[in-house]
Amino acid sequence: MTATIGSSDVAAILGLSPWQTPLETWARLTGLVPRYTATDTPSQRRGRIMEGALLAALSDELGGVSIVRGPAIHEEPWVAPPPYEWAHARPDGWHIASDGLRFIDEAKTARRFSEEEWGEDGSDGVPVYYAAQVVWQMGVANLAGRGPFSAAYLVAFSPMTDDFRVYRVEHDEARFRGLLEAVRSWRERHVLTGDPPRVHAADLPLLARVFPGRDCRRTLPPTDADRATARALADARRRERTAKATGDLLQAQLCERMVAHAADAIEGIARWPAVAGKRGLDADALAVAHPDIIERFTRQGPPTRRFWLTCTPDTE
C-alpha cells in the first residue's frame, strides 16, 4: 500500500524543491525508506520551534484572528475524496476572517530573503516551492470539504536579518488542477508501478543507503551508453582536478605577495588573517589510554557502497 501525497511532497515531485529530489520522495512513498525521520534536521527543528510564535504573530498582524492549528504529523491529515484519495494536506493552521472567508496559514523561516525568490512584504511573491505547497493545501482542503479556502497567508521570518514578512497567495483553481494532474501522472508512472524517477546528483547517498550491494556480486557487460557516461565522468574529474590545481596556484601567488610584504590582506582583493588552529580528538591516544570508552562510544554505520571509476577518458 502506498502512502498519500502531501503538500511538502509536491515541490519535490515537480523538481522544484531545494531539499528533496523526486527519487527521495519516491523512496518515501513506496516504503523503501521511512516516510518521516525520527529526528529533525537543524532547519526542521528551527521551523518547528518557530511555528507557534510565527502563527501568533500572524494572528496579531491580521487583527487578532483565531488561528486553528492544522493536523500534527501524528494525526490524520485532510484527505481528498475519490478519485483523489491519494492526496492529503497538513497546513500549519487556518482561520476564518470576520467576513466569513477561510484562509490557510503557513509559517516559514529563511536564512535570508533573496530577491530572486522572495517578493516584498504584503505581496504574493513567495518561492515557487512554497507557492506549490499552499496551492496544494488550499485545493486539497477544498476537495476534502474543509473549505472553501479563498487564499493562504504565509508568514516568514529571517533570524539572520531579523526580517518579518507576511505574504498572501490567492486560491487559483486552474493552477491547482494543473498541479493535481501533474502529480497524478507522476504517481501513476512511478509510485504505482515501482519504476523510480530519473536520478539526480543529490541522490547518490540515497542509492548507496537503500541499495547497499551486500547481495550484488555480478559484473554487467558495458553498453555504449555506459562507455559514454564513464568517459564523460572521467573527463569531468580531470577538468575538476585541473581547475583545482589552477585555483590553488593562483591563491598561493596572492598569499606569496602578502608574505613578501608582511601583510594579511590586499585591499579589496583578499584577506589572509591568522586564525587559531583546529582542535581535534586524538582518537589513537584515547584508544590506548581508555579502550573501554572507545568501545562504548563507537558506532557502526549502516552499510553503503564505494565507487571506483576504472576507465580513463580514452577508454573505448
Asked, for residue 309, whether it belongs to a domain, the answer is no
Answer whether residue 95 is part of any domain: yes
Nearest to 190 by CA among 83, 30, 31, 19: 30
Residue 302 confidence (pLDDT) above 90 = no
pLDDT of residue 1 exceeding 60, the answer is no
Alpha-carbon distance of 109 to 95, in angstroms, equals 21
pLDDT value of position 316: 42
The reply to whether 192 falls in a domain is yes
At 43, is the pLDDT very low, low, confident or very high (cuts 50, 70, 90)?
Answer: low
Residue 279 DSSP one-character state? P
Q: Are residues 253 and 277 in the same domain?
A: yes
pLDDT of residue 315: 46
Q: Is 140 in the same domain as 204?
A: yes
Domains of the chain: total:
2
Indicate whether 230 and 177 sit together in one domain.
no
Q: Residues 72, 169: one domain?
A: yes
- Grid coordinates in use for 48? 518547528
**Is residue 305 domain-resident?**
no
Q: Please state, as a whole number, how many other Cβ atoms lie within 10 Å of the Cβ of residue 5.
A: 24
pLDDT of residue 152: 97
- Tell whether 15 and 123 lie within a shared domain: yes
Residue of 151, 148, 150, 163 whose CA lies nearest to 110: 163
Task: Evaluate if residue 180 carries a pLDDT over 60.
Answer: yes
**Closest CA relative to residue 199, chosen from 208, 305, 111:** 208
Taking the C-alpha atoms of residue 154 and residue 92, their distance in angstroms, rounded to an integer, is 10
Q: Does 2 map to a domain?
A: no
303 assigned to some structural domain: no
State the pLDDT at residue 127.
95
- Asked whether residue 142 is assigned to any structural domain, the reply reads yes
Q: 221: how many CB neighbours lie within 10 A of its CB? A: 5
As a whole-number percent, the residues of the chain with pLDDT over 90 amount to 67
Computed over every residue of the chain, the mean pLDDT equals: 90
Q: Prior bond to 77 cis, omega within 30?
A: no
Q: Which are the contacts of 104, defined by CB distance < 8 A and separation ≥ 6?
A: 91, 93, 94, 134, 137, 138, 141, 149, 151, 152, 153
pLDDT, residue 44, reads 66
Q: Which own/partner pairs from 257-263 qualify as long-range (CB within 8 Å, at least 24 positions apart)?
A: none
Please give the residue range of the domain that contains residue 168: 7-210
Q: Is residue 170 located within the same domain as residue 230?
A: no
pLDDT at 157 over 50: yes
Q: With cut-offs at 50, 70 and 90, classify the pLDDT of residue 41.
A: low
Mean pLDDT of the 167-196 span: 95
- For residues 202 and 255, membership in a common domain is answered with no
Indicate if the pLDDT at residue 207 is higher than 90. no
- Is 48 inside a domain boundary? yes
Do 194 and 244 lie in one domain? The reply is no
Pair (47, 170) in one structural domain: yes
Please tell me the pTM assigned to this model: 0.74
pLDDT score of 314 = 57
